Structures are given as structure tokens and as C-alpha cells.
């Protein structure tokens, strides 16, 4: 499909002598588009952050209203303060856990000093005792000398939690009961010592549970602090975005006013060509053209059942905006028609399009009659 004639830059409201100025306008517009793309990316990042934050808040909507009010009153901590607080919490938690492990060590010593503890003090001598099926039955061998070494390790490879030691102590006795038949001496010794261990463990368990609860609360508090820091950072991004968007709007308005001032008045022939070209738009582009008219004419209802478009009544800026838009739209239609072999399906909403085109023609005819009379 051919494009509208006389839509070159030299004819688009700026004379050929001012083509350099037109190129400067184009360069400024390209800069604004680039800025808008950057802002759009920032907006998407902020949107994704708040969407994920909303989902997290919905999934963790537990706690009393008093707790929620307290969260609202929390001051936003700095990153440096967060790091300092985290270091202090970790150091304090490690110290408390060391104390619990020391108390657990007392339980281990009491168990290992029992007269029946000797079979469990060293690793099972599988080869010496000829226990050929031991590793087929026991997946993870364990003994108290291995536990002791892990508890005393200074290279960072030792136990970090009391429950890990507890699990290995149980494993020592469960392995013995699993491999040795019920009723055998070793099975009976292991069962008896396990029961004694569980009794002593129950005395320490409340302290362990309390420590775990405290750690969970501190972790939740740390996560809340981090969330507040992120929200504060994104709030700043939002403020900056608002300022940048305002700046872009100002540049666009200034550019628009400059272009309008530079534009010459559109001739009668050009207006007639514009009306004809509008009638060749697709339904979607036609609606966009009506929106352009509505932007400078608040009383104009682009989506009304009946519209009356008076080309001559439009402002110069609206006419040139329409001309630029129609030129680009028809060029795209032409390319689309060529890529699809010219088989465009224009049946959709043709009735609506015909009504609008008839309105343009009808208004133009009225103007013509008035002029002739």
C-alpha cells in the first residue's frame, strides 16, 4: 500500500531550509525515547520487587496485630548497622550453643562412664571380629571416640548443633541393637544405655528448644530488617523515577511547543489528503487517530457510537500529530500487506470503520457546500 504523498521531513511542517533543525528535533526525540526505555526497565524492577514482597507478606501473615504495629514503628536500619547486629547475634548465639554443648558433654561422660559402655567406646573391629556382613546391615557406623573427637575439633569441622551430637549418640546404640539380635548382651546393654541417655536428654531438651526458638525469632527479625532496607531503597528509586518522569514530561512538552511554533499552517489540499489517508487506516489505527483528536478536544468522544470529525476545526498541532501518525501507520500497513502477500482480512469492525469514514466525508461535504454558497 502506497504511503501518503508529501510526508517527507521537508514537508512535515518544517521547510527544507530547516532540515538540520528537524534532524536536531529527531535526535532529541530519540534521546527521550532512550530515557523512557530506561525508566520502563526501572519501573518493571520496582514492580517485580513489590509483587514478590506482597506474596511474601500474604504467605507469612501470621502474628498478632500488636506485632504488626510494632513492625510498622521499626526504624529502617542501615546496611552497616545490620552487618554489626548480625555479627553480634551470631557471636552470642555461638556462645550460647557452646554452653549447651558443654552441658551435653556432661551427659555423654555420664553415659560413657557406665559399666556397660565399653563395647561402644571405639569403632567396631569389623575385620578382627570377622563381621563380614556388618557394612551391609549398618549404613553409618558410629562410636563414642568419634563423637568425642567431633566435639573437641578446633578446625571448624566439629559439631555445630547439640541435636547433631544427640543424633550420633542415638546412632551408636541403634546400630548395636540393629546388628545384634534381641536378647544378646550387646543388644541389652545398648538398649539400657539408650534409655538412660533419653532420660538425661529430656532434662536438657527445654533449653535446646528455647535456644532454637530464639534463633528463629532473631532470624525473622534480621529478615524483616533486610526487607525494610530493600523497601527503603526501592522507595528512593520510586521517588527518583517520579522526578525523572516529570523531567521527561517537561522535555516533551517543551519539544512539543517548539515543534508547534516551527510548524507552518497546513494547506487545504494537505488537510483533504489527510482526511483521505485517515479513511485508509486499519480499525485499530483509526481508533488511535481518534484518541489523538480527543487529547486536544476534551469534548470529543472518540468511542461514541456516532462521531463527527471536522478536519478544519482541529488545531495545527493536532493536524501535524495526525499527519505523522497516519504516515507511520500506513507505512506499517503496507509492509504488513507485502509480508502476508496482500491477503489482509479487513472484515473485522468494518461497519464501525465505515461509519467513522462516512462522518469525515460528510463533514467535508458540509464544509464544501458552505464555501460554495
In tens, the pLDDT along 284-336 reads 888 888 888 887 777 776 566 666 777 888 888 788 888 888 888 898 888 88
Tell me: do 325 and 198 sit in the same domain. no
Examine residue 83 and state whether it is found in any structural domain, yes or no.
no
Contact 173, 120 (CB under 8 A): yes
Q: Which CATH number covers residue 117?
A: 1.20.920.10
Domain interval for residue 324: 266-302+309-334
Record the pTM.
0.47
Tell me: do 194 and 117 sit in the same domain. yes
Which of 139, 137, 146, 140 shows the shortest CA–CA distance to 112?
146
User: How many structural domains does the chain have?
Assistant: 2
Examine residue 258 and state whether it is found in any structural domain, yes or no.
no
If one counts every other C-beta atom within 10 angstroms of the C-beta of residue 277, the result is 20
- CA-based radius of gyration for the chain: 41
**Mean pLDDT in order along the chain per 10 residues (373 residues):** 38 54 70 75 72 61 45 56 75 87 94 96 94 94 95 87 95 96 95 97 95 88 75 73 77 70 79 86 85 77 67 82 87 81 52 61 59 56
Give DSSP secondary structure letters for 28-52. Answer: HHHHHHHHHHHHHHHHHHHHHHHHH
The pLDDT of residue 31: 76
Q: How many residues does the structure list for the chain?
A: 373
Q: In whole angstroms, what is the distance from residue 309 CA to residue 293 CA?
A: 9
Tell me: do 131 and 191 sit in the same domain. yes
Tell me: do 278 and 197 sit in the same domain. no
The pLDDT of residue 115: 95
Distance of CA 270 to the CA centre of its chain: 49
Tell me: do 225 and 270 sit in the same domain. no
If one counts every other C-beta atom within 10 angstroms of the C-beta of residue 144, the result is 20
C-alpha cell at 332: 506499517
The pLDDT of residue 7: 37
Q: In whole angstroms, what is the distance from residue 82 CA to residue 96 CA?
A: 21
Examine residue 217 and state whether it is found in any structural domain, yes or no.
yes
Tell me: do 98 and 192 sit in the same domain. yes
Look up cell 546496611; give the residue.
79
C-alpha cell at 201: 536428654
If one counts every other C-beta atom within 10 angstroms of the C-beta of residue 201, the result is 17
The residue from 229, 256, 280 where one domain ends is: 229
Tell me: do 271 and 141 sit in the same domain. no
Q: Which CATH number covers residue 294?
A: 1.20.1270.220
Contact 134, 124 (CB under 8 A): yes
Q: In whole angstroms, what is the distance from residue 160 CA to residue 164 CA?
A: 7
Examine residue 36 and state whether it is found in any structural domain, yes or no.
no
The pLDDT of residue 123: 95
Examine residue 261 and state whether it is found in any structural domain, yes or no.
no
Examine residue 236 and state whether it is found in any structural domain, yes or no.
no
Average pLDDT, the chain: 77
Look up cell 563414642; give the residue.
144
Tell me: do 193 and 276 sit in the same domain. no
Query: How does 67-100 read in b/e, with b if 16+ C-beta sit within 10 Å?
Result: eeeeeeeeeebeeeeeeeeeeebeeeeeeebeeb
Q: In whole angstroms, what is the distance from residue 31 CA to residue 37 CA?
A: 10
Tell me: do 221 and 270 sit in the same domain. no
Tell me: do 203 and 111 sit in the same domain. yes
Examine residue 347 and state whether it is found in any structural domain, yes or no.
no
Examine residue 79 and state whether it is found in any structural domain, yes or no.
no
The pLDDT of residue 67: 46
Q: In whole angstroms, what is the distance from residue 225 CA to residue 231 CA?
A: 10
DSSP 252: H
Q: In whole angstroms, what is the distance from residue 194 CA to residue 175 CA?
A: 11
Residues whose CB is less than 8 angstroms from the CB of residue 290 and which lie 6 or more positions away in sequence, other chains included: 300, 302, 303, 307, 309, 356
Tell me: do 207 and 99 sit in the same domain. yes
Tell me: do 220 and 279 sit in the same domain. no
Look up cell 518522569; give the residue.
245
Which of 275, 276, 280 shows the shortest CA–CA distance to 346?
280
The pLDDT of residue 116: 96
**Residue 186: Cβ-neighbour burial (10 angstroms; 0-12, 13-18, 19+):** middle
Amino acid at each position: 500500500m502506497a504511503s501518503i504523498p508529501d510526508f517527507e521531513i521537508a514537508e512535515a511542517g518544517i521547510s527544507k531550509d530547516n532540515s538540520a533543525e528537524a534532524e536536531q528535533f529527531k535526535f532529541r526525540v530519540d534521546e527521550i525515547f532512550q530515557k523512557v526505555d530506561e525508566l520502563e526497565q526501572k519501573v518493571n524492577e520496582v514492580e517485580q520487587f513489590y509483587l514478590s514482597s506482597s506474596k511474601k507478606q500474604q504467605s507469612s501473615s501470621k502474628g498478632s496485630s500488636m506485632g504488626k504495629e510494632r513492625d510498622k514503628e521499626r526504624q529502617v536500619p542501615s546496611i552497616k548497622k545490620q552487618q554489626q547486629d548480625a555479627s553480634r547475634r551470631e557471636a552470642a548465639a555461638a556462645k550460647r550453643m557452646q554452653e549447651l554443648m558443654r552441658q551435653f558433654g556432661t551427659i555423654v561422660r555420664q553415659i560413657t562412664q557406665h559399666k556397660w559402655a565399653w563395647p561402644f567406646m571405639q569403632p567396631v573391629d569389623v575385620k578382627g571380629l570377622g563381621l563380614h556382613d556388618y557394612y551391609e546391615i549398618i549404613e553409618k557406623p558410629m562410636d563414642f571416640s568419634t563423637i568425642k573427637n567431633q566435639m573437641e575439633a578446633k578446625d571448624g569441622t566439629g559439631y555445630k548443633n547439640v541435636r547433631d551430637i544427640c543424633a550420633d549418640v542415638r546412632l551408636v546404640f541403634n546400630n548395636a541393637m540393629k546388628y545384634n539380635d534381641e536378647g544378646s548382651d550387646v543388644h541389652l546393654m545398648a538398649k539400657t544405655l539408650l534409655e538412660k541417655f533419653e532420660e538425661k536428654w529430656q532434662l536438657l531438651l527445654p533449653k535446646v528448644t528455647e535456644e532454637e526458638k530464639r534463633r528463629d525469632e532473631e532470624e525473622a527479625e534480621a529478615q524483616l530488617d533486610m526487607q525494610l532496607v530493600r523497601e527503603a531503597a526501592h522507595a528512593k528509586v520510586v521517588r527518583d523515577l517520579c522526578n525523572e518522569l516529570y523531567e521527561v514530561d517537561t522535555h516533551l512538552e517543551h519539544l512539543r511547543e517548539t515543534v508547534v511554533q516551527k510548524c507552518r499552517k497546513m494547506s487545504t489540499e494537505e488537510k483533504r489528503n489527510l482526511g483521505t489517508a485517515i479513511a485508509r487506516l486499519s480499525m485499530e489505527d483509526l481508533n488511535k487517530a481518534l484518541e489523538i483528536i480527543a487529547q486536544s478536544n476534551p469534548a470529543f468522544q472518540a468511542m461514541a457510537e456516532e462521531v463527527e470529525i471536522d478536519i478544519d476545526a482541529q488545531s495545527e498541532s493536532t493536524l501535524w500529530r495526525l499527519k505523522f501518525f497516519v504516515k507511520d501507520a500506513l507505512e506499517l500497513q503496507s509492509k504488513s500487506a507485502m509480508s502476508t502477500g496482500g491477503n489482509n482480512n479487513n472484515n473485522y469492525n468494518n461497519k464501525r470503520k465505515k461509519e467513522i469514514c462516512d462522518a469525515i466525508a460528510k463533514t467535508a461535504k458540509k464544509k464544501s457546500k458552505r464555501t460554495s454558497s
